[in-house]
Amino acid sequence: MKKYIRIAALIYVIVSVGFALFWMFTGGGKGVKGLVVEGYFYQTDAKPVMQGNHYHSKSKRTTSYTTSTLKRVLPWQWKERNENSYILDIMKGESFCGGNFTGYDGKFAQLTNAIIDPSRGQGRRGGENISEVLNQPEENEYYILQSGYFKLNCKKKIHYNFNSNSHLRQWINVLNTTVENPAYKVTYNSWTIAVKRYEYVNLYHTMTDFYNAFLVSKAFKMQPGNITILWIDGHPSGTLDTTWKTLFGPILRAGYIQQPSMFNHMIWGIMGYDSPLNMHDSKNVPYLEEFRFFFLSRHNIPTKSELNCTKLKIMFLWRRDYVAHPRNPSGSVSRKIKNEKELLDSAMKHFVGDDVFGIQIDKLDMKNQLKLIANVDILIGMHGAGLSHTLFLPKHAGLIELYPTYWSNANTHFKAMARWRNLHYLSWNNIDRTKELANKYTIVDVEAVTGLIGKMKRNICR
């Protein structure tokens, strides 16, 4: 008898669960397709609404999504930090103002209930089409901050030492503390990372900014997609702008802040030049594989690529002229290869069966760049920002870096990336000055590079 009771109970549980799942996936029988996910997504780009004498950004704790987009909604799972990890070291902070200001490692800071007063800042709004601002001086793209641009409710002035060359020294100098609650009209409830960008359309330098934002997001366990990136600069629109939004969340330009605004959770981000990615002599850089996983996943790109030595993907990355920022209206770049077709033809001839191709990758949007890079086995190119994609190559891959005579191989940006990720690395240096042509073109030694590809293939497939 007990046996039948147990069987009946099991059948009841199965039917109940099946009914519950049916109810959830059909929107409670109302014909609404999707899942209701509670507590996983907080809307940050809603228009502020008036509450009493202040404006507040509405947050939605419950939002419906189709099952195809559920993957984007679920919380990012940061890997646990080890006891001796880099983040635990840099998170040894020095607090002031009752904990409303905490400086970390001389590189970044956390501010709670910080006010930005836009009347104390001057500069271009930014975001213009590049054609509208050709030849504008670089200094026009930087915000001038006056005393009181940042405000905190605190009795004493805050004294904290940031690194000597960091713009955060200027920011703390214009941070005013007051015993009275500063007036404000708009509230930003989500995490906000304030960033001053420098070489904002250069992939390498922007990558240092991406990585720095990734680090502080991990340190504070922020939810990607719900992080406001605040640009305190006035740069025009750039090709990498949308990547910020894809990785982290809504973008806010300082020039678009019209009224005094409170930021409940603000981070003054790490300066790009202070990034661990910029320390090329370091033995390692923390969390690089997690950064790769994060970057690819946020673009919905598969993170695994199987090695197939019968058909390697061999990609030449071409540097060609293109207009990227106002100070170079002709779009002229250096370190270009004159004999691209000859290089490509030789590789195709010697590596029959492999997938050999060349591309000017900056003509693609970031997602399509990553689709290619995440499956490339051998990447070949002149030293340049595009080789920052070394960070997203498969774990078994290799980089072949080329240098003209006028560019020193002491520039180890990408050799360091390969070393940090335990990738294979080879290089070629031109030593024949007669092969350097006008407009920064170089005739590359076809035989030498073809030989390096063969050596790299043996290294990868042995």
Q: What is the pLDDT of residues 381-420, one digit of tens each?
A: 999 999 999 999 999 999 999 999 999 999 999 999 999 9
Rounded Cα distance, 37 and 33, in Å: 13
Given the DSSP bridges, would you call strands 228-231 and 186-195 parallel, antiparallel or unpaired?
A: parallel
Lowest mean per-residue pLDDT among 84-93, 339-348, 370-379: 84-93
Do residues 150 and 260 touch, judged by C-beta distance below 8 A? no
**Across-strand partners of 150?**
116, 175
Q: Name the amino acid, one letter, at 123.
A: G
Rounded Cα distance, 141 and 136, in Å: 8
The proportion of the chain whose per-residue pLDDT surpasses 70, expressed as a percent, equals 83
pTM: 0.84
Rounded Cα distance, 175 and 230, in Å: 17
Do residues 313 and 376 touch, judged by C-beta distance below 8 A? yes
Helix or strand run (H / E) with residue 95: strand 93-96
Phi, psi of 386 (to 5 degrees): -60, -25
Given the DSSP bridges, would you call strands 93-96 and 101-104 parallel, antiparallel or unpaired?
A: antiparallel
Do residues 391 and 412 touch, judged by C-beta distance below 8 A? no
Lowest mean per-residue pLDDT among 76-90, 182-196, 342-356: 76-90
Res 181 pLDDT > 80: yes
Q: How would you label 39-74 residue by residue, b for 16+ Cβ within 10 Å and e otherwise?
A: ebbbebeeebeeeeeebbbeeeeeeebeeeeeeeee
- Show the domains of the chain with their CATH numbers: 2-41+51-73 (no CATH), 86-278 (no CATH), 303-461 (3.40.50)
Instruction: State the average pLDDT over residues 360-380.
Output: 97
Do residues 235 and 197 touch, judged by C-beta distance below 8 A? yes
Res 429 pLDDT > 50: yes
For residue 27, the model assigns a pLDDT of 37
Q: Which two tokens stand for residue 39?
A: 């507590």
